[in-house]
Amino acid sequence: MKKPIYSLALPILLFVFTAGIQSCKQKQTKETEEVTVKVEQPEYFLLRPEVEKAYGYSHAVKIGNEIRISGAVSMDDAGNPTAIGDIEQQMKNCYADLKKILDHYGCSYDDVVAENIFTTDMASLIEKSAYRGEIYTKHFPTGTWVEVTGLALPEFMIEIEWEVYKAE
């Protein structure tokens, strides 16, 4: 004598239900696995400590492999503007200061991934920008150039800020 089909339905339903519970338990276990994340503490660098403390900023902050560098302007160690009226020399002075920060972190111009330039005279900056080709010999970073009405002091004609990425 044949068993009716509905008599098999209960064992099949129990099997499907049990398999479903096991599947949920496995998913739940996978979702709740612990993940360890290494938290990097910021490392602050002051190029001209007295000037930077007076104005309230750090020239660079490194977290992990990333370094954010505040805008460099053409100034001496006392914070006085240099190369007044000469945008090309101011640009060279900015890059010289930025290079000191790269050296501190063991980086090179090749590690610069973003460069933002602020200037009070875009036409002169464009005219003198060929100097950047001496700095960036492999590739240029991403970046933005913005003409502004003024920088921190009226004698400043250019300010350059960077983002650097140093692969380990």
Instruction: Kindly list the averaged pLDDT for each block of 10 residues, start to end, along the chain of length 168.
Output: 54 53 52 76 97 96 97 97 98 98 97 98 98 96 98 98 94
Classified by CATH at the fold level, domain 43-165 comes out as 60s Ribosomal Protein L30; Chain: A; (3.30.1330)
Name the CA dihedral angle for 79, 105, 102, 73, rounded to a multiple of 10 degrees: -20
Quote the tokens at residue 51.
Answer: 């000037």
The contacts found for 52-61 with CB under 8 angstroms, 24 or more apart, are 54/79, 55/79, 55/152, 59/101, 60/101, 60/104, 60/105
Name the CA dihedral angle for 116, 119, 121, 126, rounded to a multiple of 10 degrees: -20
The CA distance from 146 to 121, in Å, is 9
In the prediction, which pLDDT does 13 show? Answer: 46
**CB-based burial, 112-139: b 16+ in 10 Å, e otherwise:** bbebbbbbbeeebbeebbeebeeeeeee
The CA distance from 118 to 96, in Å, is 17
C-alpha 56, offset from chain centre: 20
Q: Are residues 105 and 131 in contact, defined by beta-carbon separation less than 8 angstroms?
A: no
In the prediction, which pLDDT does 24 show? Answer: 47
In the prediction, which pLDDT does 159 show? Answer: 98
In the prediction, which pLDDT does 138 show? Answer: 96
The CA distance from 152 to 78, in Å, is 15
In the prediction, which pLDDT does 40 show? Answer: 87
Q: Are residues 90 and 158 in contact, defined by beta-carbon separation less than 8 angstroms?
A: yes
**In terms of DSSP H, where are the helices of the chain?**
6-31, 49-55, 87-104, 122-128, 132-135
In the prediction, which pLDDT does 71 show? Answer: 97
Residue-range domain boundaries for the chain: 43-165
Q: Are residues 60 and 101 in contact, defined by beta-carbon separation less than 8 angstroms?
A: yes
